[in-house]
Amino acid sequence: MLQFFRPAAAGMLLCCAAATAFAQTSNFPTKPIRMVVAFTAGGTTDILAREVAAEMSQTLGQSVVVENRPGAGGNIGTEMVSRTEPDGYTLLATSVGPIAINPSLYSKLKVNPLTELTPVAPMADVPNVLVVPPTLPVKSVKDLVAYAKAHPNSTNFSSTGVGTAAHLSGVLFNERAGVQTTHVPYKGADALNDLLAGRVQFMFATLPSVISHIRSGTLRALAVASPQRTGTLPDVPT
């Protein structure tokens, strides 16, 4: 099953600095391991973390307990893990946001994830997908741009929080397309619920979080935000 997780920065496991040496010199693990997810339950990082935790439990013979600590674009969970004892028993399941984006986005962070956490393993390479509800009268990116220009005050996009890849993708879309759409941040997976209900018009969502909705027709995929098409959605353009 773990062959599904390909090396990339979209999903990763980290632990407190100095934990690696301890784990290598002890009969690790001798007690349950805690895996902190920096986002809400039901999102892509949470889904991946629970899959990996289940495999780790079987392989290591110890329980791996997943705990969600969302908030502040992943900063709350990141800070929590960085402050725990560096014994290898607390892991952080996170994404590119708290590790690579937030240190540049926030002027003041309580922790520096680049120096206070140690990378353990990459989990997945997950592209973003531009999706809209089927009730929106657009079937391509070109259509969405035209719609946004015709409805400048009522076109909104949702994201899983300020500073996330979903948020910054929307900002970049506005800039490149020359449109003005409004960002509506949510707490994690709640962003998808309002998109499905048609309360917001589009979203850059991670592929695992929306693939079932795309296949069932409750969401329409306009493009994948990657250089090449994905084998999961071969008919969707880049």
Which 3 state secondary structure label does DSSP give 144?
helix
The pLDDT value recorded for residue 108 is 84
Residues of the chain with CATH 3.40.190.10: 128-224
Question: What type of residue is 155?
Answer: T
Strand spans (E) along 25-127: 33-37, 64-68, 90-94, 117-124
The pLDDT value recorded for residue 4 is 27
Contact of 16 with 85, CB cutoff 8 Å: yes
Which CATH architecture group holds 128-224?
A: 3-Layer(aba) Sandwich (3.40)
Residue 38 dihedral angles phi and psi, to the nearest 5°: -80, 10
* Global pTM value: 0.76
Q: Are strands 90-94 and 11-16 parallel, antiparallel or unpaired?
A: antiparallel
Contact of 12 with 78, CB cutoff 8 Å: no
Instruction: Classify domain 2-124 at the CATH topology level.
Output: D-Maltodextrin-Binding Protein; domain 2 (3.40.190)
Query: Which parts of the chain sit beneath pLDDT 50?
Result: 1-10
